[in-house]
Structure 1
Amino acid sequence: MTDSRLAIIILAAGQGTRMKSETPKLLHTLAGIPIVSHVLATARELDAAYTVAVVRHERDALVTVITDELPNGLIVDQDEIPGTGRAVEQAIAALPDDFDGDVLVVNGDTPMLDVQTLAGLVNEHRQGGAAATLLSAYLDDPSGYGRIVRAAETEGDRPNGRIGRNGRVDRIVEHRDATDSELAIAEINAGVYLFGVAELRDLLPQLTMHNAQGEKYLTDMIELLRRAGSDVTVLPVSESWLVAGINDRAQLSEAAAKMNALIIRGWQLAGVTVQDPATTWIDLKATFEPDVTLLPGTQIKGATVIARGAIVGPDTTLVDCEVGEGAIVKRTDATLSVIGAGAEVGPFSYLRPNTILGAKGKIGTFVETKNAQIGDGSKVPHLSYVGDAHIGVGSNIGAGSIFANYNGVVKSETEVGSHVRLGSHNVFVAPVTIGDGAYSGAGTVVRKNVPAGSLAMNIAPQRNLEGWVQAHRAGSAADTAAQAALAAQAAEAALGENGKSTTTGERADRTGE
């Protein structure tokens, strides 16, 4: 049910310059969807009364993604005043005046943050009665992160030499503004906060820009609350990767590896065999039935669906595909294609969009297909291109066949019936229809329709121009080889004639002739 006392603010206004990319940072993909979409999905699961996204840089592209994920979300454009404090201030202004609940603030670049962690934060905040509750993490190398500064403690309160683990929270200091002693603090601010909305409305206007970056820091709210006599609670996360932000491509790669490992483990526990997790990548939206086997070097991308008992890989990439029960797909690149139950694809096949292979069909070695519907039990075994074609059931396309679908102006279709047998090295010049049960001879160029049950063939006499190489390529390696072969043939013929004469003479001696 909707939590009527919860509002969520998603900070998505940052420029993300460290990505060094024309693509906005939050729109770089992770497990097949934009970074920000992970955060939006988590926010949606919390079912807050209000969700507000604050945008600025590349706002139109971001808004398109945000509204797709959260159609009822509120969009706020951050003004010229920089900083997370200003972003939250504007987001609060967008909430109804009568909203008097809690405000959860999350960053749009923390895709690993899950519903369980955030729900625990909300529960801790409401049970503890603090004015603010925030997440923290302990890092071996906290460089770049804001530090949680706590009140002075005794040495006994510092387990493992970590400074400030148990003391009262006084403030958060950003890395650039920290002293040497503050930089030694291992507890970092995770950038996830839960405030009472009344406290935000009262204190946000007091934020200043007197800091190294000249911004309104939301982190300064903690010190303002402490000065006002309010309590602040910190909830350390169980694993630091849960709150890891993504600021550059190295961090994106680290997050991708961690998320992929979690996705793979989840499917393994659901009955999918992943032979080599280190070389297998699975997008978040992909789905599998039990007893699927993924072999090394396999990428399952987009909303691919793989049915029970199918074997995919090695070295295979499937993008938004459907694979039927018991199918085998190896060393194949396929996009927006359907592979039927019991079918075989590969090795070295290339399935372009709108390829549909029927049950127990085959697309074999070095075959490319595009916009091709291949019926149940039909086969394109090797070395062929099938584009803009419909093939019936039980047909066989010979090796080296080309469906010539484009005349330089328009693309046309080829229709092949059922139980057709087409010879090797055929070319089908579309538009053309081959009827049911028809055959074609090797090397045939089909330019007109073939009636059912007919044999299509091109008849042209073969001409051998003897002596052409000697006349036109004299002295070449080919000429040398040809002359040697001709000499050998002549010698063999002469030997045969001599043997025949000797045999005849011997026969005459024996018979007295």
Structure 2
Amino acid sequence: MSNRYAVVLAAGQGTRMKSKLYKVLHSVCGKPMVQHVLDHVSSLDVQEIVTVVGHGAEKVQAELGSVSRFALQSEQLGTAHAVMQAEELLEGKTGTTLVICGDTPLIKPETMQALIQQHEEQGAKASVLTAHIENPTGYGRIIRNEQGYVEKIVEHKDATEKEREVREINTGTYCFDNEALFSALKKVSNDNAQGEYYLPDVIGILKSEGEIVSAYQTDDFEETLGVNDRVALSQAESIMKERINTAHMRNGVTLIDPANTYIESDVVIGQDTIIYPGTTIKAGSKIGSDCIIGPNTEIANCVVGDASSICQSVAHDSVIGSKVTIGPFAHIRPQSQLSDNVKVGNFVEIKKASLGHGSKASHLSYLGDAEIGAGVNVGCGSITVNYDGKNKFLTKIEDGVFVGCNSNLIAPVTIGEGAYIAAGSTITDDVPGNALSIARARQVNKENYASKLNYNK
């Protein structure tokens, strides 16, 4: 097998997106388009990836990091001109170079591999990824010779009536012999209406030199979709979403209603987990086996252990143990950690807090900036008062504590192991272990006083 390289074209501004965000950074299922392309290319056996950047270059480089080297196209003068910017990094190297656009997130690694493999097996100097489409209006047609090799690529406006009947179209993804590519690029002219240098012209140059030009036709036109506007972006999102959901179901996950379940890229879900409609699971999440998620639940960048249940709730950037019950209507905010067998009930908010094994806050509580031990019961309406308007403070609740309803724990404060906080207390000082703490005004009854208030008169 020869050396392999890749050039990712990501320099266009994307004016049709009508966006402040650089086109290839628009997200498809939780990941920028260009990152999808780089991930797919990286899964192949390539020695070097060069991404050609232009508009928004710094942001694209920051997103992709060290996965790719970069070449700058400071002025957009066509696709051939874009590839030429990689000359300094790739010229003179022997092997095969894949050229692919950064706005084609749906092209599968298997398709890229098949294109490269056929290219190398046929000894071609160039190979084109093609697709069959019933209405090819506007696409360049692939004209093959009797041996099945590419004779030429004809743009729609230049095609004869017979050529326009051809349904095989150019997708804009290519393989080249690397040395032949950069040799031919020097011969590309910009003598056209737009004054630009076009990469398909390399095909004609190689053909004129008697070289073999091959074509590999994918059986899935949808995967070749290039995203140039918001409509195409939504189409790519829909196709990718269906792919992701199908993969999870084939791996043993039950999606009650796949059409109304949104799972982003790079999410891991264990077997026999059931996901109900209206659920969104965002990138970075890892869900265990035998879980029940949803309905109407959002999970983002969380680890969830086996056999946990999250119903009609939101959880972000947190670690959730096994056999945990959350919801309905709970909010797990970032940097929270729930140990096994924890229960977080309706209208409970957890923020930057840890709850030990078997602890529970069943309803109407706020627990922020807290370290809560095992076997703790937090009564209805109880809160950690963690913020004084300028700074956040820590509340520590040790194992086995019982916090009665409507208690306020004014941080910084520590509640010792096995302590009991009487309902309605406002705790401002540390409570020793096994103590009963009562911090509320003594009840006073004024007999017959209510009649003086003239109620119900």
Same structural fold, with TM-score higher than 0.5 when normalized by the shorter chain: yes
1-side partners of 2:43 and 2:322: how far apart? 35
* Distance change in 2, residues 1:6/1:427 (3 Å): same
Cα deviation 1:88-108 (Å, max 9, x = unaligned): 1221342153x1222211111
Tell me the residue number matched to 2:374: 393
Once the two structures are TM-superposed, the CA of residue 39 in structure 1 deviates from its matched residue by 1.1
Aligned to 2:97: 103
1:429 and 1:177, CA in 2 relative to 1: closer, same or farther beyond 3 A? farther
| 1:206 aligned counterpart, secondary structure | coil
Distance 1:201 1:302 in 2: 39
Identity score, percent: 39
- Residues 144/374 of structure 1: CA separation in 2 closer, same or farther (3 Å cut): farther
Q: Is the 8 A contact 1:4 1:49 kept in 2?
A: no
What's the TM-score once normalised by structure 2's chain length? 0.93
Specify which of 66, 70, 77 is matched with residue 72 of structure 2. 77
Cα 1:143–1:418, aligned 2, differ >3 Å: closer, same or farther? farther
Over 3 Å counting, the alpha-carbon distance change for 1:211 and 1:150 in structure 2 is farther
1:57 aligns with 2:55: yes
For the pair 1:327 / 2:321, whether they are aligned, the reply is no
Whole-angstrom CA distance in 1 between matches of 2:154 and 2:164? 9
2:73 is equivalent to residue 92 of structure 1: no
Structure 2: runs of 5+ lacking an equivalent: none
Shift of 1:461: 2.9
Q: Which moved more, 1:347-356 or 1:178-187?
A: 178-187
**One of 223, 243, 246 as aligned partner of 1:242:** 223
Aligned match of 2:46: 48
Q: Is the 8 A contact 1:4 1:48 kept in 2?
A: no
Equivalent in the alignment of 1:18 = 16
1:381 shift after superposition: 0.5
Supply the distance in 1 between the matched residues of 2:226 and 2:274 (Cα, whole angstroms). Answer: 33
Larger deviation, residues 386-395 vs 123-132: 123-132
Match of 2:31 in 1: 33
Match of 2:140 in 1: 146
The residue aligned with 1:466 is 450
Per the alignment, residue 403 of structure 1 pairs with 384
Equivalent residue for 1:227, pick from 192, 197, 208: 208
What is the distance in 1 between the residues matched to 2:162 and 2:379? Answer: 76
Q: Secondary structure at the match of 1:433?
A: strand
Mapped partners of 2:155, 2:60: distance in 1: 27
- Deviation at residue 377 of structure 1 after TM alignment: 0.9
Q: What is aligned with 2:64?
A: 66
Partner of 2:180: 199
Cα distance in 2, alignment partners of residues 372 and 177 from structure 1: 66
Residue deviations 1:230-285 (CA, integer Å, cap 9, x gap)? 33222211111221111122212211221221222222122111111111122221
Is the 8 Å Cα contact of residues 91 and 182 (structure 2) preserved in structure 1? Answer: no
Query: Does the residue aligned with 2:186 lie in a helix, a strand or coil?
Result: helix
Question: Aligned pair in 2 of structure 1 residues 355, 180: CA closer, same or farther (>3 Å)?
Answer: farther
Secondary structure of the 1:51 match is strand
User: How far does residue 228 in structure 1 lie from its aligned partner after superposition?
Assistant: 2.8
TM-score (norm 1): 0.83
- Measured in 1, the distance between the counterparts of 2:411 and 2:159 equals 72
Query: What is the CA–CA distance in structure 2 between the aligned matches of 1:468 and 1:190, rounded to whole Å?
Result: 87
Shift, 1:146, TM fit = 3.2
The 8 Å contact of residues 132 and 219 in structure 2, kept in 1 or not, is answered as: no
Which of the pair has more CA radius of gyration? 1
**How big is the shift at 1:467?**
4.4
* TM-fit CA distance, 1:185: 4.6
Contact residue 134 and residue 192 of structure 1 kept, 8 A:
yes
Structure 2 Cα separation of the partners of residues 324 and 270 of structure 1: 18
Q: Does 1:376 align with 2:370?
A: no
> 1:449 and 1:469, CA in 2 relative to 1: closer, same or farther beyond 3 A?
same
Shift of 1:32: 2.1
Cα distance in 1, alignment partners of residues 451 and 207 from structure 2? 103
How far apart in 2 are the matches of 1:336 and 1:118?
A: 34
Residue in 2 aligned with 1:187?
168
Question: Does the C-alpha gap of structure 1 residues 408 and 299 become closer, same or farther in structure 2, counting only changes over 3 Å?
Answer: same
Q: What's the offset of the Cα at 1:362?
A: 0.6
Distance (whole Å) between structure 2 residues aligned to residue 81 and residue 181 of structure 1 = 34
Quote the offset at 1:418 in angstroms.
Answer: 1.6
What is the rounded CA distance, in whole Å, between the counterparts of 2:306 and 2:166 in structure 1?
55
Q: Secondary structure at the match of 1:46?
A: coil
In structure 2, distance between residues paired with 1:61 and 1:230 = 39
Alpha-carbon displacement from aligned partner over 1:56-97 (angstroms, at most 9, x marks no partner): 1100111122234x1xx3311114251110111221342153
Counterpart Cα distance in 1 of 2:250 and 2:119? 34
Which residue of the partner structure matches residue 7 of structure 1? 5
- Aligned with residue 329 of structure 2, among 348, 359, 365: 348
Structure 2 distance, partners of 1:216, 1:180, is: 27
The aligned residue for residue 301 of structure 1 is 282
Equivalent residue letter for 1:461: Q
Which deviates more from structure 2 when the two are superposed, residues 245-254 or residues 196-205? 196-205
- Aligned with 1:309: secondary structure? coil
**CA–CA distance in structure 2, aligned partners of residues 10 and 107 of structure 1:** 5
| CA displacement 1:312-370 (0-9 Å, x = unmatched) | 11111111111111111111100011222111000000000111112111111011110
Distance 1:423 1:5 in 2: 69
Q: Secondary structure at the match of 1:234?
A: strand
319-328 vs 457-466, which moves further: 457-466
Q: Please list the CA deviations of residues 397-423 of structure 1 after superposition, one character each: whole Å capped at 9, or x if unmatched.
A: 111112110001111011112222211
CA distance in 1 between counterparts of 2:54 and 2:160 reads 32
Report the CA distance shift for 1:231/1:434 in structure 2 as closer, same or farther (over 3 A). same
In 2, distance between residues paired with 1:91 and 1:179? 35
Residues in 1 aligned to 2:415 and 2:287: alpha-carbon distance in whole angstroms:
33
- Contact between 1:31 and 1:260, CA under 8 Å: does it hold in 2? yes
- Partners of 2:452 and 2:368 lie apart in 1 by 40
Q: Say whether the 8 Å CA contact 2:5–2:97 is kept in structure 1.
A: yes
CA RMSD in angstroms comes to: 2.2
Q: Please give the secondary structure, in 2, of the residue aligned with 1:254.
A: helix
Q: Which residue number corresponds to residue 494 of structure 1?
A: none
Shift of the alpha carbon at 1:194? 1.2
TM-superposed CA distance for 1:142, in Å, is 3.5
Name the structure where helix makes up a greater proportion of residues: 1
Aligned residue type for 1:211: N
Q: Is the 8 A contact 1:55 1:62 kept in 2?
A: yes
Does the Cα contact within 8 Å between 1:177 and 1:212 map onto a contact in 2?
Answer: no
Relative distance call for 1:200 and 1:413 in structure 2 (3 A) is: same
Aligned residues: 454
In 2, are the aligned partners of 1:176 and 1:212 still within 8 Å (CA)?
Answer: no
Q: Which residue of structure 2 aligns with residue 502 of structure 1?
A: none
